[in-house]
Amino acid sequence: MFYTVLHVAFGGAIGAACRYLVGIGVIRMLGHHPIPLAIITVNVIGSFLMGAFVVTAAHRGIGIYSPFVMTGLLGGFTTFSAFSLETVNLIERGQLGHAALYVALSVGLSVGGLFLGLMAARGVLT
């Protein structure tokens, strides 16, 4: 268990550094844009890599690397990849209503939680 946690932490550090570097690269290539293109790029790349790893791990029997790759590396790179995987899993199981509810609740409650956090901090700090 201890080594698994270390693998997740190490993967997370690498993933977070990669997210930062990709973000800088996108901004340098495309400039600042009203839509956060750097975040969209990271989310799409991370989701693609999550899908590719899930299939590869299943076919090659390398699921032992999932904590490092999926939770750590890709989780540090973008948690959107995990969100995308869970959504597609629901869709593939034919649970379209659950998938739609999961997307709506995840996005709506997360944005709402951030907004409430902003308001709470502004009330405390100002």
* pLDDT tens column, 25-83: 999 999 888 888 888 899 999 999 998 999 999 999 999 999 999 999 999 998 888 89
User: Is there a single domain that holds both residue 89 and residue 105?
Assistant: no
Look at the chain and report how many structural domains it folds into: 2
Domain of residue 21 covers 2-93
pLDDT exceeding 90 applies to what percent of the chain?
Answer: 68
Record the pTM: 0.79
For residue 125, is pLDDT > 70?
A: no
62 and 120 belong to one structural domain: no
79 and 37 inside one domain: yes
Do 77 and 101 sit in the same domain of this protein?
Answer: no
> Would you state the pLDDT for residue 126?
60
H/E element holding 103? helix 96-125
